[in-house]
Amino acid sequence: MTGRRTGITLGAAALAVAAIFALEWPTDRPEAASTFGTLSDGRFSTGMLVGSGDGLVRTAAAGDLAFVLDGDSLAGGFPSTLGAFVAVAHPQDLTTVYGRLEPGTLSTYLTTLRERDILGRVSGAGAAAWFGVFDRAKDAWVNPLILLAPEKDSISPVIRSVLLSNDERSYRLGEARTVRQGRYEVLLDTADPAGTAAGRAPYSVRLLVDGIERFACRFDSAAAPEGVLLFDPRDARTGPDFYDERGFMRLGTLDLARGAAYLNVSVADFEENSRELTYQLAVE
Enumerate binding residues for other proteins (CB under 8 A): 40-43, 45-47, 64-70, 72, 74-83, 85, 87, 89, 95, 97, 99, 108, 111, 130, 132, 134, 136, 139-141, 223-225, 227-229, 240
Dihedral angle sign, alpha carbons of residues 49, 236, 219, 196: positive
User: Considering only CA atoms, which of 42, 51, 228, 269 is closest in space to residue 143?
Assistant: 269
Please, which residue, 40 or 264, has the CB nearer to other proteins? Answer: 40
Q: Please say which residue, 89 or 176, places its beta carbon nearer to other proteins.
A: 89
List CB contacts of 173: < 8 A, sequence separation 6 or more. 161, 162, 163, 164, 263, 279, 281
d(CA 125, CA 109): 25
125 vs 212, beta carbon nearer other proteins: 125
Nearest distance from residue 113's CB to other proteins, in Å? 11
CA distance 98 to 274: 30
Q: Which is nearer to other proteins, 38 or 266 (CB)?
A: 38
Shortest distance in whole angstroms from residue 132 CB to other proteins: 7
Minimum separation from the CB atom of position 161 to other proteins (A): 23
Q: Residue 202 in contact with residue 267, Cβ under 8 Å? A: yes
User: By the 8 A CB rule, do 43 and 247 touch?
Assistant: no
Nearer to other proteins, 45 or 266 (CB): 45
Which one, 51 or 157, has the nearer CB to other proteins?
A: 51
Query: Would you say 67 or 262 has its CB closer to other proteins?
Result: 67
Contact 132, 163 (CB under 8 A): no
CB of 81 to other proteins, least distance (A): 5
Query: Which residues pair with residue 220 across a beta bridge?
Result: none
To other proteins, the closest distance from the beta carbon of 202 in angstroms equals 20
Shortest distance, CB of residue 84 to other proteins, whole angstroms? 11
Distance of CA 234 to the CA centre of its chain: 17
Q: Compute the distance between CA of residue 235 and CA of residue 190 in angstroms, rounded to an integer.
A: 20
Supply the minimum distance, in Å, between the C-beta of residue 109 and other proteins: 11
Separation between Cα atoms, residue 266 and residue 264, nearest integer Å: 7
Nearer residue to other proteins within complex by CB, 191 or 229:
229
| Cα torsion 60, 21, 50, 96: sign | positive
Q: How many whole angstroms separate alpha carbon 7 and alpha carbon 138?
A: 11
Nearest approach, Cβ of 79 to other proteins (angstroms)?
A: 4
Distance of CA 281 to the CA centre of its chain: 31
- State the Cα–Cα distance between residues 47 and 64, nearest whole angstrom: 20
